Amino acid sequence: MNDFSLLEKNIGISFGNKNLLLQAFCHRSYINENPGFLLGHNERMEFLGDAVLELVVTEYLYSNYPDKTEGELTSLRAALVNTKILSEISEGFGFIDFVFLSKGENREVGKLKQSILANTFEALIGAIYLDQGYGECRDFINKNLICKLPNIIKFGLDKDNKSRLQEEAQRIESITPTYKVLEEEGPDHRKNFTVGVFFGDNIIARGTGFSKQAAEEDAAGKALEVKKWFNKDCN
């Protein structure tokens, strides 16, 4: 087991009840493989942390952006509290080295790793709330997550990928992206689509999803990264 005092130092919080911190990092797969582990998995803490996280972000947006509509605030919140951003913060703190996983889980698999890290971040928020209360949660979230809001607003990251790609493509290259289904796999009730996004005749990126719309959104996001139009940093 890694020394969780190092993690406490990384996040700047010392837990009174260390078991809460340990449980926040316990993935369900570990419990399935180690039924004698004294603590439960982190899914209930994740549930709690998700609610606290949403409240803190909503409270901040409501107080600091009085001129924005409900729809605009909702889009900003969704852009801030998403798997990619939460996993990036978690990775920066080195969370993946502390998560209790089964031997079968691969710590290096892209989307799985992202999901585990984001869920662990929410579970940690739940653990902080239980151990130290709402104020400490708010301070931690403001310090480590809210800092990303200025760039989200500056670069329009609250917009969906297709809208952002179209705006940037028209502004920079005077072209409108088009989308084409390249492949369909699976049964009718669970088809997986592969879609290409094109600038003229040139394919820029491919995306996948269980609907054409989801695949197009995935392709647009990858095209933004290919073109380096996807600025996600807050520094």
Q: Pick the catalytic residue: 43, 46, 50, 158?
A: 50
Q: Pick the catalytic residue: 46, 122, 216, 218?
A: 122
What six digits make up the tokens of 2?
């890694």
168 is catalytic: no
> What's the CA gap between 22 and 126, in Å, rounded?
12
> What's the CA gap between 208 and 184, in Å, rounded?
10
122 is catalytic: yes
Task: Outline where the chain has alpha helix (H).
Answer: 4-11, 18-24, 28-33, 43-64, 70-80, 83-93, 110-132, 134-144, 149-154, 161-173, 212-226
> What's the CA gap between 152 and 148, in Å, rounded?
6
What separation in angstroms does the CA of 156 have from each of 45, 163, 229, 233? Answer: 32, 10, 11, 13
**Residues recognised as catalytic:** 50, 122
